[in-house]
Structure 1
């Protein structure tokens, strides 16, 4: 790619050598550049030196990580590699909408606190079929990567879409090597918490080049296979409810219980990459690349959930509370329900993801002035998932909680432990399944031209055109999460005579007593529980159908048919379909210049990019008018109609990048640009439901609606400024400082917007539809500091030590276009009505103050101690990030209850309040390490370790009584033995 070209021959040659990781090539390149023999470095030190040169000589502000050797990035996944880059943090939940499930290898990536991150593969579009615009980085085999680049402030020639940053994944090409190159690796990973079998991985690469009568040809094949098996144990505490009936004359806050779970996770990741290169001569060359990644995961979970009425919970007289009235210790009981109602869930989930990328590139140097590059790409991505839950129910006699320590401590009497381990005390409760499937594709074509000036100031001018045609189709089953009761306590006395206890012989082998062995690495003890067998969750739909016939013998009417179950299906409800197409066209021009004769030489580029976007969302509008009639009540006709929503917009994106060289080792940069990030396809879904509601007592008519998406959304925009100071005092030693300020416009939030519909007389009415809107502005500003050095001047073996450290500080703020002034949350019958305050609602009806951007940690740092001397290479790396907001209104921390709709009622907060608590991830740090020994130039063995300190992840829920512990996760250390051979 043109952005990686360097003006100095010596720099270019040394970079190629380091990237290839071959001693012979490095020596030859260095001698060609300088005419003298030099000391050549390889391995970890060479990778740092290469990454530093990329940063120093780039036209833009960029941070890179380069593979130590072929197939050897420094971590087990692309996400874990990216977290080492200054300004980059990773999310450790499986999905942002489900913070209850932990991701050991990390999932999404934020750059400088922003989730608006663009992903590329070799400078081209790359994405997953998940309703978003970026890759699931955990799906990509790191063994196929030559390096990763994170661009902080893009120039005009780079593809638009990187408000937060641009992550480019780079692979090798055959001409990166002097001749034939082969490399292979074998690895095996052991999880201390999961125990049992290990997880093998391996990779193989072959590359060669041949001179023929019609030019030189190169071919490369790279294959990777990886398994990972992990286990996560978790504690959870339910939200705290205000109670005036526990301590006389005082309001205290009591959770309705604490719960625990274990999740067994297995994934397979496969990758295949191939490249053909052809070069006629220095003027004409071409390449064809094929990249395919395949990801498959399965997890099984056994979890127990408190589901009693929070106001039926009684607390023992010896209970203690903190200064704000929150429960610290005490025994919980529920006499009203004859025990605390808990549900024991067995849940299984599968996901398959596949991304295929084919690209053809032609490079033509027409003469000594003109260079033309053209590129054609086809990318196709698919994903599908299935989520299945079968649950039992039990009434726990009592639960003694101690919330004073780092992790909740639970105590049970021997009688209670025996009760909880007895299947006869459990009943079949419910089933729930969810399915989704997605596919996305894109054709992309671009042509770039460059004209080189013979001028003391002007270097070259670049301009180009890019066209894309993209489609995205995401389907959810209907109902999306198909919850269906088998037997529930509230059915008894109605349709059922009793509960269906686990005594039916048809399920004799489908029940298991789970003892939670080695829970939290033997640091705590919890009772054994009874769960449905995994065969019932994975045996869908037959197992579900059989379970739902069981309670029919308990029908109160004697019919034997009082229950029914229908599986979730695709295509029955347009609300589950999100079908879109998008076309873009972009033009850019960029001028590179340099003032070499100044006392402090200055160079840089200035350019502008114009992009036109045209999208179409194929959707529906559904309207359910009121059946009430009378004076003043407009008459509408009910309808459900298919609609196509179009949205066209253009964006002008200027950019300026300047660099001043104070010395050969000290330089300063200044960058100013405008960027955009288009809305995710999930937010653009064109499905809206409208309702006309009539209060028969007052005659008041209201017009409301809900939009699962909003096809009229515009991109998030950013006006951004970057300043850096960079001191490169050694080949692999540097100290850099960066200041940045991103002014955000049109941030997408959920809020009400107007939707016009005319009644039968033709009079228009505006419906207040709640959905995604460009409803806020904001900023993300801060600083980055990076330092790395090997201490070469130390004597003997001590000269192999080095250190690498970076620190990021980010401050953010958002301001709503239409500020919310509500003091209390809205009433209603579900938390889906939560729309009065975007910052969340407490259970007592009060709202919270302003919240930061989701996923933003104010502080993050990396600290690595390195050693590289002779055949030995080692690293200890600590990564830490501070507390960050995960989401608001997510599962487990939202709900509603009661019937009182009067906000002035003395009991408001326990009645008819739709509450939704902000969920945070507390500060988290993790220590990883690796050691490698090179027996020969070709053969090395090593050991890698993740989470050496057995760190615990703590999740917080924000309430008026402060930040309270919501969940605690442990996954334990993991160890990987590896062997690499290359020649």
Structure 2
């Protein structure tokens, strides 16, 4: 054992020396319960699960603000594999389980973004300082952070003046350990392996280690700490999907609603996460200092095989024996498409890779003498990310598809002949490719100095004031085109572009495919046919594999006309002239604050609190581009409406956006008894727009509706349209909130409490898609108004509700039962969002429907109707956690259930939007055909998951643990809102995960 300890110490010191030699160590001293506060840090001594709960409870009880905390030992006992999953256990906090907000078709097993009290305006911090990922947003992707590096998490729900602005929903502060947190030498290692039910036979390893010590030297006390973490995760998600329901006529002429098909897919997800954290501390007399470095690396790759319906919905026919519900929606029946010779499906193999890095280097210096404490802090953070998303697809025309949509999960019924048809490569053709690339880099340098003066006064406690300056740059580049869909061969090309599709049965085009059998699909609960997919190597082989596949089109194109110059495939690239895909932002902030702490201890019911004011000025620059084009006729003999003469141009332009905010705050606490207290908090808060919403690229266009007399040659201009669009708006202001909280906190035991909170947040300047005016001058200098579609500060709203939380160990029970405990919390949130200019909210039909869908916050159904007002996105009206605890002797265990009600994911999101106004080829028989465009609201349905953990301490140093996620094998369901009701859109199955963990403390 001694030799083992010496080896571990030597290894840890060697790693620490390597980091120091690379100038990589830095970070502040351990943040207290309140980020950036000036009093001495809270020393959290953790000796077991009960002590961990007690420490978290004490932080909440003694904090100046409304805060919930989780400390390291408590986090280690939770059955969670990421910081995101840990956060969902806190009252008022919910997590999103999709990989991206705009792509709800892909499930995230470990969760992704976080909402607090139903709002996604969440500020993330590391030890009270800025922390973010390079994704065009302002917050940290918590799933990127190894939880092994985190000593605790504090969630603040109402800001005070000394806290950094930007937390309308709430503030999540991740705390790391510091050398002075321990009395002397401290070292520990742990290792675990994860087994995922759907990935049978495969396990994912993880390991972490910490070493820390402190020494007394002639120049003062010195401490050093190193923490390293590595983890892998491999999961699989199976999914069913049903397409939107379209209004069709049945055989009797009655309007019924029928999806154009249903489909299935499977996704293999693999994640690798690495973390390194080092800290140095020093103190002598009145001085102390710290230097820390935090590095998080995240690599992810998923491979997907998906089949999806891509035929025209209005060509679908349903069998005479079909059944429908009372609103006319299909329940059972067989779908066919005689007009197209069968139902056309795409069968894609997709691979997506992302690598993200975040590095934080920070230094803090503190001086404390008599009544004064002064602290200065310097931080530099750098975050990068890059991604390649690649899809290669075959296609197949199914003769028919029989659906049964009456059960909890849709059933697609196949005969033996159907299965044999889908298993035969000769029935497939090469369909399309699609690639997307992006890369981002964000940096920030922040400096702040704070001072505190302690009063010797019966009422006044201290006065705090300070200044903070930041300088941040963020550049995100998306490839051009962003998602570069390119046909290899498609049925709609046959006859005018190619003689036939590139069939896999043709020796010239065969090979590079595989028959995917979907083994153990939906955990063995459902059987689906095998499908012929492109090999994964083709998706991963971009761009070389793409170039080869597109030669198939060239071969067939030449068969129509050997002299034809067939258009060459153009790959997506970044390029110096990719103005539409580049978002270049810089932002500087200057903030000052003052905060007075006070208290009346001699009252019958003592009162204390703080009153503060924060002023912040924001100066931002968006380096963008404006492009103007015109199709209006110029010159000639014209009458009617005058056409402004504006010369086409494309020019770079920097957009300056400067604003300031005054943010008052008040926090009061009344102590009714030593164990019962009440809080009142009122504050103003802001949340700045994400950098993705501030992009400065705008396209402006001029069109004219004209008619020409063939005899006189006179052109009559009936109307002129001046319009524009932009994915961003560099003139956006922050969303603001006026918020009030009232809480009751009863701490009836060291680990027993009951708390209740009422809150109300009134929001202004919510960012929504709508229209705003932009002006251009014509050649005479006259200004003309262009109606531009894009994000604006165009709505107001509210989020208000109640939180209840309870925890207790039943120490009075006899014997082993005294180890039992329970934790429970419940959150209810009511929300509303109203447009300032609601005129566009009902826009669904008429004009260019597809172009105007973005104007409709409430969505458009497939029959051209819209829906009523929708709530704020990602907000569940109800959510709760229930955990059964056990902690007695060497045994520590939890059984934890987490549930949230349905929540709106989005309106104009991937998978449930589209338009049939797509045929612009004059040679096509359906040239000029136009149908209603649609964009359906999608919702995540109610979802609950049961997790568990069990730990056994063999000695004070050795502990063995088992963790299990999703014990109930829950199915995650997605809904799509239509006028016929909330229809099932997708069903996701991930199976169970089990983790075996061994840890050793030196």
Q: For this structure pair, what is the TM-score category when the shorter chain's length is used for normalisation?
A: over 0.9
User: Structure 1, residues 341-370: CA drift from partner, whole Å, max 9, x if none?
Assistant: 0000000000000000000001100x2100
Q: Is the 8 A contact 1:656 1:671 kept in 2?
A: yes
Q: Is the 8 A contact 1:864 1:876 kept in 2?
A: yes
Out of 260, 267, 291, the position equivalent to 2:264 is 260
Match of 1:645 in 2: 655
Out of 956, 960, 984, the position equivalent to 1:937 is 956
Q: Aligned runs of 1:284-683 on 2, under 5 Å?
A: 284-365=287-368, 367-503=369-505, 510-555=512-557, 556-559=560-563, 562-571=566-575, 572-629=577-634, 630-631=638-639, 632-683=642-693
Match of 1:845 in 2: 864
Aligned with 1:302: secondary structure? Answer: strand
Q: Aligned runs of 1:40-439 on 2, under 5 Å?
A: 42-68=47-73, 74-244=79-249, 246-281=250-285, 283-365=286-368, 367-439=369-441
Per mean C-alpha deviation after superposition, the further-off stretch among 74-83 and 116-125 is 74-83
Out of 747, 767, 770, the position equivalent to 1:728 is 747
Q: Is the 8 A contact 1:725 1:737 kept in 2?
A: yes
Displacement of 1:760 after TM fit?
Answer: 1.3
Q: Is the 8 A contact 2:49 2:77 kept in 1?
A: no
Displacement of 1:551 after TM fit?
Answer: 2.6
Aligned with 2:574: secondary structure? Answer: coil
Q: Is the 8 A contact 2:905 2:940 kept in 1?
A: yes
Match of 1:714 in 2: 733
Displacement of 1:815 after TM fit?
Answer: 1.4
Out of 948, 951, 955, the position equivalent to 2:970 is 951
Displacement of 1:888 after TM fit?
Answer: 0.6
User: Structure 1, residues 429-478: CA drift from partner, whole Å, max 9, x if none?
Assistant: 00000000000000000000000000000000000000000000000000
Q: Is the 8 A contact 1:353 1:384 kept in 2?
A: yes
1:61 and 1:832 map into 2 onto residues whose CA distance is 45
2:845 and 2:320 map into 1 onto residues whose CA distance is 35
User: Structure 1, residues 48-79: CA drift from partner, whole Å, max 9, x if none?
Assistant: 11100000000000001112179666521000
Per mean C-alpha deviation after superposition, the further-off stretch among 771-780 and 502-511 is 502-511
Aligned with 1:498: secondary structure? Answer: coil
Match of 1:904 in 2: none
Q: Is the 8 A contact 2:104 2:905 kept in 1?
A: yes
Unaligned segments of structure 2, at least 5 residues? 1-28, 708-716, 920-928
Q: Is the 8 A contact 2:974 2:984 kept in 1?
A: yes
1:363 and 1:680 map into 2 onto residues whose CA distance is 33
Q: Is the 8 A contact 2:883 2:894 kept in 1?
A: yes
Displacement of 1:560 after TM fit?
Answer: 7.7
Aligned with 2:157: secondary structure? Answer: strand
Displacement of 1:211 after TM fit?
Answer: 0.6
Aligned with 2:623: secondary structure? Answer: strand
TM-score under structure 2 normalisation? 0.93
1:837 and 1:190 map into 2 onto residues whose CA distance is 44
1:330 and 1:115 map into 2 onto residues whose CA distance is 41
User: Structure 1, residues 740-773: CA drift from partner, whole Å, max 9, x if none?
Assistant: 0000010100000000111112111111100010
Match of 2:7 in 1: none
Aligned with 1:843: secondary structure? Answer: coil
Q: Is the 8 A contact 2:78 2:949 kept in 1?
A: no
1:318 and 1:62 map into 2 onto residues whose CA distance is 60
TM-score under structure 1 normalisation? 0.94
User: Structure 1, residues 361-418: CA drift from partner, whole Å, max 9, x if none?
Assistant: 01100x2100001100000000000000000010011111010111001101111110
2:327 and 2:631 map into 1 onto residues whose CA distance is 46
2:206 and 2:849 map into 1 onto residues whose CA distance is 47
Displacement of 1:912 after TM fit?
Answer: 3.4
Q: Is the 8 A contact 1:720 1:740 kept in 2?
A: yes
Q: Is the 8 A contact 2:843 2:853 kept in 1?
A: no
2:40 and 2:375 map into 1 onto residues whose CA distance is 20
2:785 and 2:963 map into 1 onto residues whose CA distance is 61
Displacement of 1:4 after TM fit?
Answer: 3.3
| CA separation of 1:269 and 1:504: change in aligned 2, threshold 3 A | farther
Unaligned segments of structure 1, at least 5 residues? 22-41, 901-909
Q: Is the 8 A contact 2:187 2:210 kept in 1?
A: yes
1:684 lines up with 2:694 in the alignment: yes
Match of 1:968 in 2: 987
1:802 and 1:835 map into 2 onto residues whose CA distance is 50
| CA separation of 1:3 and 1:437: change in aligned 2, threshold 3 A | closer
Aligned with 1:229: secondary structure? Answer: strand
1:745 lines up with 2:764 in the alignment: yes
| CA separation of 1:82 and 1:115: change in aligned 2, threshold 3 A | same
| CA separation of 1:899 and 1:647: change in aligned 2, threshold 3 A | closer
1:569 and 1:711 map into 2 onto residues whose CA distance is 25
Aligned with 2:58: secondary structure? Answer: helix
User: Structure 1, residues 758-801: CA drift from partner, whole Å, max 9, x if none?
Assistant: 11121111111000100011100000000000000000000000
User: Structure 1, residues 664-722: CA drift from partner, whole Å, max 9, x if none?
Assistant: 00000000000000000000000100011111146211111001100110000000000
2:469 and 2:938 map into 1 onto residues whose CA distance is 41
Match of 2:11 in 1: none
Question: Aligned-pair RMSD on alpha carbons?
Answer: 1.7
Displacement of 1:842 after TM fit?
Answer: 0.6
Q: Is the 8 A contact 1:826 1:834 kept in 2?
A: no
User: Structure 1, residues 901-946: CA drift from partner, whole Å, max 9, x if none?
Assistant: xxxxxxxxx9532211000000100000000000000000010000
Per mean C-alpha deviation after superposition, the further-off stretch among 748-757 and 620-629 is 620-629
1:831 lines up with 2:850 in the alignment: yes
| CA separation of 1:899 and 1:419: change in aligned 2, threshold 3 A | closer
Displacement of 1:574 after TM fit?
Answer: 0.2
Q: Is the 8 A contact 2:31 2:127 kept in 1?
A: no
Displacement of 1:564 after TM fit?
Answer: 1.6
Displacement of 1:897 after TM fit?
Answer: 2.3
| CA separation of 1:443 and 1:836: change in aligned 2, threshold 3 A | closer
Higher relative contact order (CA 8 A, sep 6+): 2
2:768 and 2:266 map into 1 onto residues whose CA distance is 34
User: Structure 1, residues 529-581: CA drift from partner, whole Å, max 9, x if none?
Assistant: 00000000001111001101123221210248524211111023200000010
Count of residue pairs brought into register by the alignment: 944
Q: Is the 8 A contact 2:841 2:858 kept in 1?
A: no
Q: Is the 8 A contact 2:30 2:176 kept in 1?
A: no
1:165 and 1:214 map into 2 onto residues whose CA distance is 41
Q: Is the 8 A contact 1:694 1:702 kept in 2?
A: yes
| CA separation of 1:3 and 1:430: change in aligned 2, threshold 3 A | closer
